[in-house]
């Protein structure tokens, strides 16, 4: 069991394997904050950096780093990925080459589907 504290002071105990996705900016507001997806039904904002959080939990090697459409990184737990595909016409902005789906988030990324599959599989995925 691990714990985290949100920027609002909420302490949460959780299973480290439940962390599916991490970002270093809030997608909706653009605020620089580590967002943790998969522990609860919504993302949790923490003051810890992504690298420090992954290292503290000992799960760094389970996460592939891909590139969001705005050029910011997204870290995705390999075993949390259920599918990777090319985007549908007009589904995402130009520059999105693959769509990665986990149980808690669907994320467009700049990597090609083949490159995204290779990265995910190198970090515990089975695609």
What is the token pair recorded at 16?
């480290």
Predicted pLDDT of residue 44: 98
Predicted pLDDT of residue 90: 94
Predicted pLDDT of residue 73: 97
SS percent in the chain: helix, strand, coil, step 5:
20, 35, 45
Tens-place pLDDT, residues 61-87: 999 999 999 999 999 999 999 999 999
Q: For the chain, give every domain's residue range.
A: 2-122
- Give CA–CA dist 31/53, Å, rounded: 18
- Give CA–CA dist 65/45, Å, rounded: 19
Predicted pLDDT of residue 105: 94
């Amino acid at each position: 069991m691990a714990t985290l504290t949100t920027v609002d002071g909420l302490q949460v105990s959780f299973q480290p394997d439940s962390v599916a996705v991490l970002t270093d900016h809030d997608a909706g507001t653009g605020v620089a904050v580590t967002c943790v997806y998969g522990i609860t039904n919504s993302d949790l904002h923490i003051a810890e950096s992504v690298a420090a959080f992954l290292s503290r939990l000992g799960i760094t090697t389970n996460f592939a780093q891909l590139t969001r459409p705005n050029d910011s990184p997204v870290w995705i737990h390999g075993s949390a990925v259920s599918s990777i595909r090319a985007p549908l016409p007009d589904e995402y902005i130009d520059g999105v080459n693959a769509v990665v789906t986990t149980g808690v988030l669907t994320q467009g990324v700049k990597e090609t589907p083949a490159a995204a599959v290779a990265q995910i599989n190198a970090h515990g995925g089975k695609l």
